[in-house]
Every structure is written in structure tokens, then in C-alpha cells.
Structure 1
């Protein structure tokens, strides 16, 4: 990595300064990649390279359940336990080596390897995805944060596809559906949709990993379909219609929620919120475009009216209500009231 006037060089120099001066003390968490992108306005890849270089230099280390912290410890403590293997030694940068291995994917078993579990792997994966986006997630990255060999992860999780399935099940299980759901079918379906919306908002990466043609077998996610279909039972719909109504509603929520991750990435790349970005556009050019009543008569009427709410939450509320209106119309036809 260049250490001159490039963005990565400047960030690296600044973080080195903070560590050397004690501004970032040993054991204190350093800025995450997402925090670096926000503070310096750089791409995620640049932030990732900066932290990787600091790890290579032994200035920072990964602590399970905490993140990347400044290396070093109180005088009574030795090297990070998660990086030390029985009979191993400490390398030049403070990284433990086992036998002839220097902490790579080969060599003796580390203490962290023996303490590893599927639960810890999934917890770390969800944290990385939440903080830095799904693009930052890899088995190697998880191993680095846990202080273990990458290959040791595969004893607990066969691969990334299985990891995503476990992550999906985990986050859907964080907020179980109310039991029982509201008595009315419409209220029940709206409740399910709102729970899904909150889950996607807390975990912006999730919507982009969901598939409705090749769904993952995640029990805590599948229960949403089960409970939605149950709320529609006995209303004159066939099993196929109940399933299609349930999945279509979930697909709408997921499709709109994809923009949580896109907006988070846009904020990182531009350093501006959606409102700030709109304010920075060429107002005169935009107004001329939208004020052409012959080409854009509806936009012209829109510009002359009161300000409207086009936020994701507003679009979600409108869209869910209209989808429930449509399901209600089908139910009415099946019952002879249509």
C-alpha cells in the first residue's frame, strides 16, 4: 500500500498516529471499515486494505465478539490467547506461531480453534455484515476476526451458502412473530409484513441475499409463510392461492427493503444522506425538466402541490395496504361478495 498522499496512505498514517499517541489505547476498538468510509469518504475496499495493513504490522488485532482493537495488553498479560497454540511462539509483530507456522491456515491447532463453535461463527458473520455490508463477508474475514485458521471454520460450517442460511435463520429468529397474531386476516398479514420490515431495517444486507425462487431452508424465516397462510385459511382461498398471497407479500417487502443496503452504500460513497444529495443537485436544471407541462404534466402538477413523503417507510405503508386490498378483493370474490 502506498503511504504517500493517496487516501489509503493518509488514513493509514492518521491511524498510526492515533495509536502511537495513545489516542487509541491498547485494547480499544479502532474504527471499523464502515466507520472509515464515513469519516474519510473512501470506498469500502480502501478501508479494508487499511485495516489489513495495520494487522500485518501488528498494530491491531481481532478480538472475538468485539472487533478489531489496538494490539497490546496490560503488562501482566501475554499475547492474545486466541492466537497462541500450545508449544507455539510469538512472531516479530506479536502474532503467535504454532510450530513452524506463522498463524496462517496451516500448522498446529490454536486455542481459538478449540473454542470455536457454529454459534460464534454466525454471530461474527452477522456483525460483519451489519457493520460493513455483505460484500465484506468471507470465511477468511470471519476467521481473522475470531483469531482462528480459516480452514477451522469448515468443521462447523460447510461453506458460505450454509453460513448465509444460518445467518438468515438467526436474524429472523431475533424477533419472533406475535403469538397469536391479530384475529383478523388483514391485521395478521400486516403484522407479519411489519415484523419483516423491521428485520430488514436492522440488517440491511439481508434483503439482497433472499431468493423467492430458490428459498433457503431457514425455519425461523419459513414460519412467516406458515403463519401468513394460516391467517388466510377458511376464507375461501385454495392452498395455492394462500401460498402465493403469502410469498407475494413477503417478496414486496423484501424488494423494497433492498434499498436499505443501497442507501447505506450510497451514503458511504457520497458522504451525504438522500435529502442532502437531492439538495446538491442542479436545482435549476431539475426544475426546468419537471416544469415542462407538455412532456411531464403530472410532474408539473406534483411540483405545484404540497411536499409529499416518498421515504421507504411511506412507500412500504402504501404498498402493503394496496396489496392487502387486492387480497381482500380475491377473498370477497371467493365468498360471493365480490
Structure 2
């Protein structure tokens, strides 16, 4: 606590990493934990991890190295602020021998480029795959707003104009990013039997992709659909499952869009929450804590008895649970349409299986 206020988590993590740098535990040139490593080690959201690295870069104690990651700058020990983060203990300084024995951290090897592509890209070996991978990495860590041709070029250590030999513009790059992200999890060659299991499998796999890439759901458009070949595979999968039960083309595609938009709509909360956390420095639970007194005062008026009962018993919002609940209810509705006809329109039952 600081003056009666909770210290945001990102500030505590910044303080811990700063101390590691000042004491030499992280030496110049060493990689600092990536955003994903920070989320795993401290149990925070990706937005908080991004804010940590952004603050350390702002202080000048770390910098990004294309193809390697975020590393400690050569002057970090001398220039880093020395004030410890509130509520944390200083880290022990490692002995010189221990530091020398520490294994050298190295980045994963870059994807090798075919000779023809490497020649076309010059000495950098610039390829379309490297460009798309770098753009996806930036979007995953900092959100889609952080992706620009200049930023991607900087991550790769190349001139911005060199990217235009491989992509037309940022819109073209975005489509390729979405295609690559969705293509990470191909559907099985053979679907499970029936219609419901294939629909569940596709829905959960798509939800997992949105979870892994929070920028993906807002980037997808329902009204102006982009030509993303890896996404067309999902469409074909769902349509085939519904056609196997005799559902007509129009109804099957409408059902597909309904399911897609449910998953996409719920997943958009992932990116908006990440942005809110990056701006406020508070995760959703911490933010709710700041609103609790005002919320309870409103409920005590007696005008909202249902919500008051819920607040008294406690409710933990879990997006994964919410997704699964809604998925099952949507599929229950489709089951009525497929097996018994729609109660509201008196249509005859769909034939098949």
C-alpha cells in the first residue's frame, strides 16, 4: 500500500525487474522476461505484462533487439532509477562467479528462408513469413493499434520500404496476419460423427484462437468479410455438419454466422479489457475493487433486489465459463431446428441423420 492506495501490479513487477538489472542479476545484453513469461511468472494479464516492458523501455533500461527480444541496455545499471518498488524486498546480488556460470540466454532460431527469398530480401533474408510473424508478435503483445509498417520494419531491423516488396499495404498485412493466426490450429482431417460434436470442436478451437490473439476478434468483420482462406475452412466444416442433417443452404449459413458472431462478440472483450488494463494499470479484479463501495450503495437502495441477492452470494465472471454456457444454449436451439422444426414458424422437421 502507498498512502492508502494499492500499488498497481505492473509497478511492482517493474520494480522487481529494475532491481534485477541494478544488482547485475540481469546483465547488459541479457534478455528480460517476455510478455508471455511475465504473464506466467506473475499471473497477470498480457496487457499488464506489456505495460511492464513499455515502462522499462521508457526508462531506458531495456530495448528491443529484432530477432532476439527485449534486452538490458549497456548503460542500464548506471541510468536505471534506484528507488525500490513499494512493498518489495531488494534482490540479492549474485556473486561474480555465479554470474559467469549463468548460461547465456539466446532467442529461438529464426525460421530459415529459402535461398530465392533470402536473395530477394537482401542480406536481411526478409521474407513474407518473417514479416507476418513479426506483425503478429507485436499485435499479441501490444494490440493491433501498435502494428504499423514502420514498427514491423523496426522489429525486423530493416527499412520500412523493404516490406512493400512482400505486402501491398497495412490492410494486406492484416489479412495475412489473420490468415496466419487462424491457420495455427487446423481442424482435423476427419470430423467427429454427428453434427453437434463437429460444431463444438470448431467453436472451442476458434475461441482458443481468440484467446491466444486478443486482437483477432475485433479485426474480423462480419459485414465486410475479409478473404481469409484459413477461416473458410471453418465455414466449410460447419456447413458440412449442418448439411449432413438436411438443413438447407440459407439456414445453414445463417446458423454458421450466428455461432461465429457469438464467439467473436464475446472474444472482443479480451482486447477491450487488455486496453483498459494497460491504460489504468489495474486488472479487472482490481478495478472492480475500486467500484465496490459505489456499487453496493446503489444496490442498498432496494430498487434492484435481484442484483442485490447476486452481490450477496458473489459472482465470479469467467469468460471461458460464459463462452461454454452460451455455446451449449445455441447448439440446443439448433437441435430443435434440426430435429423438431422451429416452434415459432411451424416448419417441418429437417430430414437426415
TM-score, with length taken from structure 2: 0.68
CA contact (8 A) 2:66 2:154 kept: no
Bigger Cα displacement from structure 2, 327-336 vs 118-127: 327-336
Query: How far apart are 1:243 and its partner, in Å?
Result: 0.8
Counterpart position of 1:247: 257
Q: 2:217 aligns with which of 203, 207, 218?
A: 207
Q: Secondary structure at the match of 1:237?
A: coil
Q: 1:151 aligns with which of 158, 161, 177?
A: 161
Provide structure 2 residue ranges, at least 5 long, that are not aligned to the other structure: 1-13, 39-43, 75-120, 342-346
Counterpart position of 1:290: 299
**Deviation per CA, 1:273-328, whole angstroms, max 9, x where unpaired?**
32222223242x322312333x3232234345x33343211211121112112222
CA contact (8 A) 2:211 2:270 kept: yes
CA contact (8 A) 2:50 2:141 kept: no
Relative contact order (C-alpha < 8 Å, sep 6+): which is higher? 2
User: Quick check: 1:27 aligned with 2:29?
Assistant: yes
Counterpart position of 2:123: 111
Q: 1:69 aligns with which of 60, 68, 71?
A: 71
Counterpart position of 1:336: 349
User: Quick check: 1:268 aligned with 2:282?
Assistant: no
Q: Secondary structure at the match of 2:165?
A: coil
Q: Secondary structure at the match of 1:281?
A: helix
Note the 1:67-146 alignment, pairs <5 A. 67-70=69-72, 111-112=123-124, 115-146=125-156
Q: 1:19 to 1:139 in 2, by over 3 A?
A: farther
Q: What is the alpha-carbon distance in structure 2 between the residues aligned to residue 110 and residue 166 of structure 1?
A: 22
User: Quick check: 1:321 aligned with 2:333?
Assistant: no
Q: 1:61 to 1:187 in 2, by over 3 A?
A: closer
Q: 1:291 to 1:162 in 2, by over 3 A?
A: same
Query: How far apart are 1:149 and its partner, in Å?
Result: 0.3
Counterpart position of 1:173: 183
Q: Secondary structure at the match of 2:301?
A: coil
TM-score, with length taken from structure 1: 0.71
Query: How far apart are 1:47 and its partner, in Å?
Result: 6.9
Q: 1:210 to 1:298 in 2, by over 3 A?
A: same
Provide structure 1 residue ranges, at least 5 long, that are not aligned to the other structure: 1-11, 73-108
